[in-house]
Structures are given as C-alpha cells and as structure tokens.
Structure 1
Amino acid sequence: MKTSDNSISRKDFIKHSALAMAGLTLIPGIMTASPLFNEKNSLTKGKLSLKNVRLETGFEYEEGEVTATKTGLFYIEVDNGKITKVSPNEPDAKAIDAKGFLMLPAFKDMHIHLDKTFYGDKWQAVRKRTGGVKGMIELEQKMLPEMLKNSTFKAEKMIELLQSKGTSYARSHVNIEPTSKLQSLKNLQKALENKKKGFEAELVAFPQHGVFYTDSVPYLKEAAKMDIDFIGGVDPFNVDGTIEKVIDFTIQLALDHKKGIDIHLHETGDSGLKTVEYLIKKVSENPSLKGKTYLSHCFILAKLEAAKQEEIAEKLGESQIGVVSTIPFGRLIMPIPTLYKHNVTVLTGNDSIVDHWNTFGTGSVLQKANLMAQLYGYSTEFLLSRSLKLATGNILPLDDKGTQQWPKAGDQANFVLLDASCSAEAVSRISNVESLVHNGNIVF
C-alpha cells in the first residue's frame, strides 16, 4: 500500500495504536485484532481516543456555489460504544494517531443475502438461466442443501469482505422456505453471533420460493416469532399468481409480530405497478407500518413515464415507504432524484456478492454511491458530498447548508477512516478505507 505524509498502512496504524495505548491487549474475534482494551475490562468498558482526525467543518463558496469542503483536525474520545468527546485537536495527547485520515460514518449495506453465497468457497460463475424466476426457484431447491453445509463459514467470510470495505451494518434477507425451512436463519444467526463485536445486521424473513407457491406460510409464521426484523416477499404476481393475497398475508404477519416489511419487486409490467399501488393502500390503512415498509429493487419505477414517476414517488413519500435500490444501469435507470424530491427514503446494498444469481458484487456501498453520482450527473462538490448518504444509511457529516451535524457526543461510535480530503472526494474516487470502528471496537 502506498503511503504519503498524511497516510499510513494498516500495519503501521495498528503499530501506532499499540505504542499509544500501553498496557492494553488484543481483542479476539475481530477481523484484524487491535490492541485497545485492557483484558481485565469488558468490551463495554473499553475506552478509545484518537488525535489528528480529519472532520468536515463546512463549505466554501464562490458566487453562491459550493466549491470546496472545509476540514480540520480534531481529538475524539469513545467510551462504552459511543462518541463522548469531539474537541479541538490535541497533537501531543497519548492517543491513536489517525494521521489526518478523514472520519466518516461507517457504511451500511441495506440489501444483501448473507445466508446464501459462494464467497469463501470455490469460485463459481452464474449458470445459464432457464424458466425465469420459477426456474431459479427450482435451481435453488437443488443447490441449497449443499450450500447450507458451510453457510455459516461463508457468511462470516462475506461479513469480513463488507468490513474491509467500511461496512459494519447490514440488512440481510434470509431464505425461509420448505427446502431450507429455518436452517438458513439459524446458520446466519451463528455467523452474526461470532462477528457481533464488529458487525450488526437486521434480518428479513425472505420467502424466496414464494409465499404460497411452495407453501412457505408455516415457516414464515415460525420465523416471525424469532429474532428477525422484517417480513419479506418476492414478485407476488409472477411467483404466487396473486398480488392481494400475498400482500394481505405479509401485512397481517408484520402487524401481528410488530415487524417491518421489505418486498423484492422485480416486475416491470402492469403487475409491478399494481403491487406498488396496493402496498401503498395497505400501509396507508395501517399507519404503524409507515417508516417500516420498503420495496427492494422496485424496477417498475424505471419503466414509468415521468409524470407517473412523480405521482408514485409522491405517494411513496406520503406513506413513508422506502425504496432499497441496487441502482441498475443500462435500460433500467431508477428515478432516484425524483424519489429524493418527494422525501422517499432511499437505501442501497450489494444484493449478491457471488452466488447463483450474480457474480459481480464487490462488497462496497461507497462504489454504489459513486455509481449513482455518475448516473445522475452529481459531479459538483455539493452533489458528490450529498451522494455519500447512500453509503451511510442517510447520515451526512454536513447538512445542506454546510453546518456540521456529525459526529456529536452521544453518537454511536460507528465510523471509518479514509484516505480522502473530504466526502466528495471519497465518493468520486471510491477512496480506500484505512480503518473501521464499530461500537467503539476497532475492526481493523
């Protein structure tokens, strides 16, 4: 890794940490262990202090246009998993030397399938698809028993990949259907328990093989009683042949168990639009689901005329239904600027890293923010800086007026250090992540 006056390698970063924090020991179970906490104390009692941390402080303007981002060096203290102090730099303090790296909120991958992947196992490319979605269901039914044999190990490896790209939080869909039953969920929960010091996830009970097409109902009902956060779904009309029956079941199960909803919707025809409109109707009838309901992919939005896009985006905003977009390109360019205009929550994720659906996932949501900026011409300093929110789950260091809003004392200590001068550069260059801290624990 190249180094410069204001950057050091990961190895040297850890070395500096060790010199600064005498008498402390290694934390087991983290991707790359780092000497931060006294072994006599629990992790929740550990303290962390950093100097020479670069933070954004405001915008520079010329003739009313944002032309640059102001930054400064600061001193940061962390205790009990939270940021407790953000103050002027203390260059002589006994603290980890961040060497001028830029501190940004840790990244969040809000659409991924940690439970079924080839990553960490032998390389396999996507096979030729036949029979559409139902053909893929048939393929999965054949593959899953073998994939489940080491799915915990592979999930851990994929978590490590995400961490290396600056992500410490994910929303993972997990198969719940008659082939896997609840085994995919149990195996993934083991992986998350093993990685809990440096990673968290919220889980979606995902009926990949249809709610009724393969009779996933009893397994979804059982999963809803377990430690999951969302009830999922996939293409109600194409898979199950019915929109209303699937949505009604999903809504009721979520209400009964106080869960959110996250439905995969790939359908781009009339059935896709009807699904969106029916979900809007049902959420409007059940206000407790507002802010807790999402449509993943929702490719139908890319196929609508501009006026209809505006109408649907406005209704999504009013009902507080979010869109989790994997940002496809080519003929399916999602109307993300229109969604933002109507205050629709937009999230992103890698979806598949390498599995029988896709072979091109990198694990980087910063790359997703970069792709969005390219697709929509967000090339100015201001628009690039705003694009960062796609990678951070809508947390930005500066608000639109350039007022510093993160980090503050009391914020959760989830952050990355990058070799970049500001967030606009980080998005534009997909800057290298030098360190990740999750709940006050240095992951690397």
Structure 2
Amino acid sequence: MKAEQPSDRRAFLSTSAKIAAACTLLGSMSGIAATQTDKPLQNNGVSRITDKHYYLDDALLETGFDYRDSTITHTKTALHTLEIKDGKIAAVLANKQHPDNQLNAYSAQGKLILPAFRDMHIHLDKTFYGGPWQAPESREGKTIMDMIALEHTMLPALQPYTKQRANALIDLIQSKGSTIARSHCNIEPVSGLKNLEALQQVLADRQQDLTCEIVAFPQHGLLLSKSEPLMREAMQAGAHYVGGLDPTNVDGAMEKSLDTMFQIALDYNKGVDIHLHETSPAGRAAIEYMIKTVDENRSLRGKVTISHAFALATLNPEDADKMAKQLAEQQITIASTVPIGTLHMPLKTLNQNGVFVMTGTDSAVDHWSPFGLGDMLEKANLYAQLYTRPDELSLSRSLAIATGNVLPLDDKGKQVWPVSGDDASFVLVDASCSAEAVARISPRQASFHKGNLASGSVQKQVS
C-alpha cells in the first residue's frame, strides 16, 4: 500500500471509520455514569495501590523483532517483573524475581505493557460528557462565527457542571490509557477566568494520576473579543500556553493577531498552542508567518504548537516537504486529530522530516462533535490505516503518535523502553504486541501514572 492513498481509499476509510467510531461511542456511552470502581474486580483484584515501592509481575514486554531475511515478521516478547519505587521504574527484572521479599507484589496477568498514552489536544472545560446525551445542533450553513455566537448562551449553562464533567472526561481518557494531557480552556469575556479556575481545581485534585498542561484559549477570537487582558491574567494565574484562533477568518488581521499572541508568550515566558483551521491561502500564510516569528525569537523554539494546521493538507508534495523542513528547523510541533474525509494531512512527510506530531481527543461529546472516544490507540489505528502500510514494523511505529514518540523498541528492534529511571507511567493492554494493539485497538486493563494505579485493576499476589 502506498503512503499517499488514492481518493477512493480515503473515502472508504472515512465512511468505515465514522461508522466504527459511532458504534464504539454507543458502547462507551451506555456506561457513561459508571466509575472504574463500579466494575466488578477479579479475585484479589485491586483498583488502588498505596505502596510507594512494589513489584509488578507478569508484565509482558517487547524484547525484539523476528526476521525472515531482512523483513520483520513478528515481535518477540517475554514476561518480566517491574520494580517500582517513588513513581519510577527502579529495575526491570526477570519475572517474579523479588530481591526484597518484604515488598508487596501485584500481577499484570500477562498483559502487554506500553508507554502511557498522551491526549495532547482536549477541551476538559466544556463538554457534554458525564451529563445527559445531547447531540450537537445542525451546523449546516453555519460558520465559526455562528458557533461563537452559540457559545455566548451555552457556556454559562455549562459552567455549574465544569468540575463534574471534567472529572468524568478524565476518567474516560484514563480508562483508555492516557495519563498525560494538554487541555485547552476557554478564556474570553463570557467565561472570564471561571473555566480556568475550575479546571485548575480539578487538576490539583487529580495530580497523583494525571499530568495536564493548560492552554488559555481565546475561543471567541483574541482580537475579536478583546481578550488580551484576560489572556494576560490567565498567564499570571498559571496557564502554561498562550492559545489563538484563526487569525484571518476570525480576528480579521493575521499579523496583528499572531503578534499579540506571541508577545503575550514572550512577556510571560510561556509556550504557544494555536487552533489553526484555516486552509490556503490564509492558513499557509499564517504558518509561514509563525515560522518567521520563531526564527526571529529563538527563545520560542520548541515551545510552539500548531493544532489542526489544515492548510498543510492543501500543499502539493514538494511544498509540504519544504514546509516540513522549516517547521522542524524551528522545532514547531503539530497537534493533529488525524482527520478522516477529504483532508489528507501530510503527517508522514512531517514525521520523515523530524517534525514532532502528536494527537488528541479534541471534542469528546460537545457542541462541536459527538464522536470523540478519548482513545489515543484509536488515533494510532487511524494513522496506521491512512498513512502507513499494514505490516508489523509500520504498525508498531504508528503507536508513536499516541505516546509522544516513546516506543518499546527502536527501528532495529533494540529494547529502549522501559529502563531504570523511567517514569512508571504505562498502560496494560490485552494484546500480544504493539502492532496488534494498534491494528485491533485492543482493550485496556489498567493505566499507571508515576507508579499510581490511575484506572482499572490488577491482581495482588498472595504469598
């Protein structure tokens, strides 16, 4: 299969993926009110680990590749014990080897251990998830300005439920393996700093099982809604990134909008993460202007993310390759939701040129879309279908978009994760290897964050 798939293939994938997502969503929504502790545990099953130092036995780790001639045909695995201490992996041991027999031991029951997933574009502060089912209103004939107008009336009605629903959405993504996230949070005159304050309280309560950055997001237009003073207050209040939105189509002044966004970031030594839905020529001009700005302000290198970046999908292969090289030189990250349909993003070209590409839920169930499953493994599956070949190596490499480029094996099959000193953040998956996990979107049994059992359950070993 070629990397650049024919249009009929993309159309088929678009239709089939939407059907699959809808079916999966119906299954997940049926238990929307349940918590992890509501699920029946197996014998000796535990859903909470209080130990700071313990062993996790029967952990299936990838150890290398099998080859036929020069072709990778299979991933080798073996059971190991992980010694976990103070949130780190202290040692990777032979299975059931316990140098300190006074420590408690738990069992992963032979489940595959993969690096923790990262939901790097989500909106925890405004969601229908955790409340009654509500489909979005029809968007036929509506523009982004119409959606902004809708938020003026909708946001005040959602604010009493911000904490409750943010917690429910966190529970969902953790059940799918994500314990690292980046959440955009509305900062505009309708919400003020209320959403930020509520989200910060939720994240403070969840800091043991989730690491989450906050992007101050001027959803109603940085210039259009005159939100610069509020954005500056948000920086002082602890937001990690300065957000932005469609500087031409919404703010109507591309350079002034981007200059304002970048100046706030420079003034407070923060990063930038902008929603850029605009396609060519406006979107391309905005990307080129951001590349130029970062080149002129080297302190911004490695601190700028362009979310969506749909303009890249409009470039011919030569222009996409050239822009990818420029993005990589300035260390600008792309956050893509791996869109299906008519937009075919050059994600493989970006990766090949060294651009860091990550993915996220974006909307779960809200006024924009009802199809978000909170599942980064599903995003890796879509990436594999749309941009790679269905072989063992390609499938295993596709996992990188869900894990922040952390993989158990390097391209040659050398085991590079986990090693002593790594954060004990990982997910237990019912699969034989990462290639199968990506291809089959395999079930998750448990998620760990810095040694804490964040979701699911494991077995406690009985002496």
TM > 0.5: yes
Instruction: Give the residue type in structure 1 aligned to 2:127.
Output: T
1:37 maps onto 2:44 in alignment? no
Rounded to whole Å, the distance in 2 between the matches of 1:37 and 1:195 is 15
- Whether contact under 8 Å (1:52, 1:91) holds in the other structure is no
Instruction: Give the residue type in structure 2 aligned to 1:128.
Output: S
Q: How does 1:273-352 map to 2 (within 5 A)?
A: 273-352=284-363
In the superposition, relative to structure 1, how do residues 439 and 127 fare at CA in structure 2: closer, same or farther (>3 Å)? same
Rounded to whole Å, the distance in 1 between the matches of 2:299 and 2:412 is 32
Write out per-residue CA displacement over residues 45-83 of structure 1, whole angstroms, 9 at most, x where no aligned residue: x12211111101111111111111111111111111111
Corresponding position of 2:117: 107
Aligned partner (choices 129, 137, 145) of residue 127 of structure 1: 137
Q: After TM superposition, give the deviation of residue 393 of structure 1 in Å.
A: 1.3
1:141 maps onto 2:152 in alignment? yes
Rounded to whole Å, the distance in 1 between the matches of 2:173 and 2:96 is 32
Q: How does 1:393-412 map to 2 (within 5 A)?
A: 393-412=404-423
Corresponding position of 1:190: 201
Corresponding position of 1:60: 66
Write out per-residue CA displacement over residues 220-251 of structure 1, whole angstroms, 9 at most, x where no aligned residue: 01001122111010100001001111111111
Unaligned stretches of 5+ residues in structure 2: 1-38, 457-463
Rounded to whole Å, the distance in 1 between the matches of 2:154 and 2:172 is 23
Rounded to whole Å, the distance in 2 between the matches of 1:359 and 1:178 is 26
Instruction: Give the residue type in structure 2 aligned to 1:347.
Output: M
- Whether contact under 8 Å (1:152, 1:187) holds in the other structure is yes
Rounded to whole Å, the distance in 2 between the matches of 1:428 and 1:422 is 10
Aligned partner (choices 258, 267, 270) of residue 259 of structure 1: 270
Rounded to whole Å, the distance in 1 between the matches of 2:154 and 2:328 is 39
1:419 maps onto 2:430 in alignment? yes
Corresponding position of 2:21: none
Corresponding position of 1:5: none
1:202 maps onto 2:230 in alignment? no
- Whether contact under 8 Å (1:372, 1:387) holds in the other structure is yes
Corresponding position of 2:82: 76
1:98 maps onto 2:111 in alignment? no
Q: After TM superposition, give the deviation of residue 288 of structure 1 in Å.
A: 1.3
Corresponding position of 1:181: 192
- Whether contact under 8 Å (1:177, 1:208) holds in the other structure is yes
Corresponding position of 2:56: 50
- Whether contact under 8 Å (1:313, 1:339) holds in the other structure is yes
Rounded to whole Å, the distance in 2 between the matches of 1:74 and 1:206 is 43
Instruction: Give the residue type in structure 1 aligned to 2:50.
Output: F
Write out per-residue CA displacement over residues 335-367 of structure 1, whole angstroms, 9 at most, x where no aligned residue: 111001110000000100010011100110100
Q: After TM superposition, give the deviation of residue 377 of structure 1 in Å.
A: 3.5
Rounded to whole Å, the distance in 2 between the matches of 1:391 and 1:109 is 7
Rounded to whole Å, the distance in 1 between the matches of 2:333 and 2:388 is 23
Corresponding position of 1:240: 251
Q: After TM superposition, give the deviation of residue 12 of structure 1 in Å.
A: 4.8
Q: After TM superposition, give the deviation of residue 266 of structure 1 in Å.
A: 0.5
Q: After TM superposition, give the deviation of residue 214 of structure 1 in Å.
A: 0.9
* Alignment coverage as a number of residue pairs: 412
Rounded to whole Å, the distance in 2 between the matches of 1:135 and 1:423 is 42
1:369 maps onto 2:375 in alignment? no
Q: After TM superposition, give the deviation of residue 88 of structure 1 in Å.
A: 1.3
Q: After TM superposition, give the deviation of residue 91 of structure 1 in Å.
A: 6.5
Instruction: Give the residue type in structure 2 aligned to 1:103.
Output: I
Corresponding position of 1:428: 439
Unaligned stretches of 5+ residues in structure 1: 1-9, 19-32, 39-45
Rounded to whole Å, the distance in 2 between the matches of 1:53 and 1:365 is 21
Corresponding position of 2:33: none
SS at match of 1:236: coil
Q: After TM superposition, give the deviation of residue 11 of structure 1 in Å.
A: 4.7
Corresponding position of 1:164: 175
Q: After TM superposition, give the deviation of residue 194 of structure 1 in Å.
A: 2.2
Q: How does 1:219-238 map to 2 (within 5 A)?
A: 219-238=230-249
Q: After TM superposition, give the deviation of residue 180 of structure 1 in Å.
A: 0.3
Rounded to whole Å, the distance in 1 between the matches of 2:331 and 2:396 is 24
Rounded to whole Å, the distance in 2 between the matches of 1:146 and 1:440 is 38
Instruction: Give the residue type in structure 2 aligned to 1:134.
Output: M
Rounded to whole Å, the distance in 2 between the matches of 1:353 and 1:407 is 31
Rounded to whole Å, the distance in 2 between the matches of 1:63 and 1:111 is 41
SS at match of 1:356: coil
Instruction: Give the residue type in structure 1 aligned to 2:255.
Output: E
Q: After TM superposition, give the deviation of residue 97 of structure 1 in Å.
A: 1.8
Instruction: Give the residue type in structure 2 aligned to 1:352.
Output: S
TM-score by length of 1: 0.90
Percent of matched pairs sharing the same residue: 49
- Whether contact under 8 Å (1:126, 1:356) holds in the other structure is yes
- Whether contact under 8 Å (1:17, 1:97) holds in the other structure is no
Rounded to whole Å, the distance in 2 between the matches of 1:378 and 1:316 is 25
Instruction: Give the residue type in structure 1 aligned to 2:137.
Output: R
Q: After TM superposition, give the deviation of residue 17 of structure 1 in Å.
A: 5.3
SS at match of 1:332: coil
Write out per-residue CA displacement over residues 191-243 of structure 1, whole angstroms, 9 at most, x where no aligned residue: 11222221120010000000110111110010011221110101000010011
Detail structure 1 runs of 4+ shifted over 3 Å in the superposition.
Answer: 10-13, 15-18, 91-94
Q: After TM superposition, give the deviation of residue 330 of structure 1 in Å.
A: 1.5
- Whether contact under 8 Å (1:418, 1:435) holds in the other structure is yes
Write out per-residue CA displacement over residues 268-303 of structure 1, whole angstroms, 9 at most, x where no aligned residue: 121100000000000011111111101000001111
Instruction: Give the residue type in structure 1 aligned to 2:234.
Output: A
